[in-house]
Structure 1
Amino acid sequence: MGMPFLIHQWARGEEWCLGGPLCTIITSLDTCSQFACSAIMTVMSVDRYLALVQPFRLTSWRTRYKTIRINLGLWAASFILALPVWVYSKVIRFKDGVESCAFDLTSPDEVLRYTLCLTVTTFFFPLPLILVCYILILCYTWEMYQQNKVARCYNPSVPRQRVMKLTKTVLVLEAIFILSAAPYHMIQLVNLQTEQPTLAFYMGYYLSICLSYAGSSINPFLYILLSGNFRKRLPQGQRRVTEKEINNMESTLQ
């Protein structure tokens, strides 16, 4: 939501003309949505893995009411993490006389703490969790495919197509998340050691922001698309798990 206002400021030579209150509101809500987006993507990844591997043990948690409560909790946590932005984001007059909407972080320690907090909570912490969940999903799916292929329960060509499609979808999701988020956070870390930014640095910085916003805009649609396919495939996986559990119970009783 902050991209149109950011473009407006860039077009005016970094000058903010929409007032201090709107500067604080837009910047804070934009940061809050950044925290929430990473948190929701992480929780969805964990949820998909658990729903595939342990579908019946989590049935009581996979309800609309609890889903709404979890989402509200994630947004509340994101709002708390973004509280410093409400305090420090304001219209600042620079030495050249231009008034810009920015963070009033004058101390290097404050800049370091803010940058590390934003980078860790929105990239370095969720990225390993998301990668591990989807790798485990792919491993589990390929394992089921190999077991069904050996058992010759059905024509292996069809499930192989589904497994390959799932693999490609997961790879696309991970690639978009990494390629859209990594440049922005890397440049933020490099900026901590940069005293005199060059024109190339500014161009890379603005490009990384555009990539970050583009990734945030595309990811929801990709996750909705994958969620639809995931819900269609989940009952089939649950039926296979049911048959497997029944067979195990029969073997135990015998």
Structure 2
Amino acid sequence: MAVYLVNLSISDLLYTITLPVWIELALKRPLGSLCSLVAVIMHNSFYVGSGLLCCISVDRYLALVYPLRFHRVREVRTAALVSIAVWALEIAIHIILLDHTGALQAFSSRNLCEEQIPMTQEVADLTLTRVTLGFLVPTFIMTFCFQQIMQSLRRSTSILTEERRKVGLLLFFLLLTYIVAFLPYQIVMLLRAILEPGTCIWGASLRDPYLVTVATTTINSTLDPIIYCLISESAQREIRNAVEKCRGVFVKKKWTKNNGIESVS
């Protein structure tokens, strides 16, 4: 799972650094050619993250529901190849979809993150494809894995109650965070794809909700590491050690400062 987490961290980092550009866009400031590049990074990272979360859910599903089978599927080498495949597949699909809408041919001269209002029918079709493949399918896979894992944990007598609770909490909070972070954005995009083509009124009405929900999707990138740290005992130990070291340095500096003042006096 560490391989998937490293890739997820890279994806989350790439996605989060695009937020300042969207803030500039919301303030209606010119961004130039940088906008197209940022839009591609944002969408690729967004859907790569969804794919990697699915991989993590499937990995936990195979480990807990079928612990004596599928060992090769859960090897580090396999995880690395799957991660590469997720990145490559998303990039390839994104290029195909951009080519379908004509945006790829005008990439250098077109600002892809400056949404055209109203949305064209080609972009609406692209949006529906993204909502289906990039959100609904991953949500279904993660929900299925979560439900199967919880059933397996309830039936198992060899796993301690505390361990069952930790695994259940981890998967539940990951799924909940994913849905809370991405569902508002996907609903807005779905409404835009259905209502907006050829209608300026809906385009203007949904612009602000669109910009707000783009920002709220970063909640997932922010909370995922926190959830893993709070659930993992090793991460908790590292956090405690770091806090104790910082506290020791602070106390030492304070003692040295006070002692120095007393010596001068």
Q: TM-score normalised to the size of structure 1?
A: 0.70
Match of 2:217, SS? helix
The residue aligned with 2:140 is 128
Inter-partner Cα distance in structure 1 for 2:25 and 2:208: 15
Check 1:42–1:187 CA distance in 2 against 1; reply closer, same or farther (3 A cut). Answer: same
TM-aligned CA deviation for residue 100 of structure 1: 8.3
1:118 paired with 2:134, answer no
Inter-partner Cα distance in structure 1 for 2:185 and 2:211: 9
AA aligned opposite 2:36: T
The residue aligned with 1:6 is 22
Aligned with 2:73 (options 61, 72, 85): 61
Check 1:161–1:224 CA distance in 2 against 1; reply closer, same or farther (3 A cut). Answer: closer
Instruction: Determine if contact 1:89/1:104 at 8 Å carries over to the other structure.
Output: no
The residue aligned with 1:70 is 82
Instruction: Determine if contact 1:89/1:101 at 8 Å carries over to the other structure.
Output: no
Check 1:8–1:67 CA distance in 2 against 1; reply closer, same or farther (3 A cut). Answer: same
The residue aligned with 1:209 is 214
Identity of aligned residues (%): 20
Check 1:116–1:179 CA distance in 2 against 1; reply closer, same or farther (3 A cut). Answer: same
Inter-partner Cα distance in structure 2 for 1:57 and 1:183: 38
The residue aligned with 1:249 is none
TM-aligned CA deviation for residue 197 of structure 1: 3.7
Q: Deviations over 1:8-47 (max 9, x none)?
A: 2223x2x323x32x22221112111112111111111111
AA aligned opposite 2:82: I
Q: Deviations over 1:104-123 (max 9, x none)?
A: 69873302211111101111
Q: Deviations over 1:185-214 (max 9, x none)?
A: 101111131431487744432221122122
RMSD across aligned C-alpha pairs, in angstroms? 3.0
AA aligned opposite 1:123: F
Q: Deviations over 1:38-87 (max 9, x none)?
A: 11111111111011122332222322222211111110001112114461
Q: Deviations over 1:191-241 (max 9, x none)?
A: 131431487744432221122122133225535765x569xxxxxxxxxxx
Match of 1:102, SS? coil
Instruction: Determine if contact 2:21/2:35 at 8 Å carries over to the other structure.
Output: no
Match of 2:24, SS? helix
Instruction: Determine if contact 1:49/1:136 at 8 Å carries over to the other structure.
Output: yes
Inter-partner Cα distance in structure 1 for 2:37 and 2:203: 30
What is the number of residues matched between the two proteins?
208
After alignment, is 213-222 or 22-31 more displaced? Answer: 213-222
Q: Deviations over 1:121-167 (max 9, x none)?
A: 1111110110010111111001114xx6xxxxxxxxx9333333433
